[in-house]
Structure 1
Amino acid sequence: MPTKAPFKFMSEDEIKRAVKRGDDQCIVIAENSGTLCWDITDPENEKTYQIEKGDLLWCWNFVERDGEYFHDYANMAPTNVKITTDVKLRLVYVSDTPDEDVHFKTTIDKGPNWA
């Protein structure tokens, strides 16, 4: 994990408030290295990425349920899509503004790519 994050992570309370407001722009951090596929059912658009510990990933409506992770695609695309991964992900930032600088400090080339 990087010794210093490129932006200030939110506290758990800040994250809970943002999610309750309906904010959907999420940044998660990889707590270990491994592989991740945003949608294993769509290999044409979504490849399996090699994730490194400390990678910051931008996605929409990230949810953890029963040890599994889910996300939405933007712009009227599929929702509640299972993330196939052996990486432990932790939500560190949530906002309602997609053009915030913090989003562009993530590992953009490993983000969801729904066409």
Structure 2
Amino acid sequence: MVFLGSLFHLHSESLNFIFQVQLVVLAVYFIYIRNYTRRFIFQYLIQHIELVDEKLEKIFHFENREMKIATIAQLPVIVIYGSTQGMNFGYKMFHLKRGKKSSM
């Protein structure tokens, strides 16, 4: 994991740790949960990372490169979490409308 920090030039230990934890979370997520929608979202983010980078730069005006990398590393986690919560909510509402009890 030290290699990742040197690869992305993360000089701060806390940023390096955050980046490592998020990589592990993403790896576990994609190994154990096989859902094509979430994979599509992740692939879309990777393919359009330069566009996302430009827009983030305009919004946040990053002080340094490490803050930019840390913010971009958060995006897939946020998108995946949001999509998961949305799907769970939709699933529960579908079963409530059909008259089945759902454990909320």
TM class, shorter-chain normalised? under 0.3
What TM-score comes out, normalization by structure 1 length? 0.24
Larger Rg: 2
Give TM-score scaled by structure 2 length.
Answer: 0.26
- Quick one: higher RCO (CA 8 Å, sep 6+), 1 or 2? 1
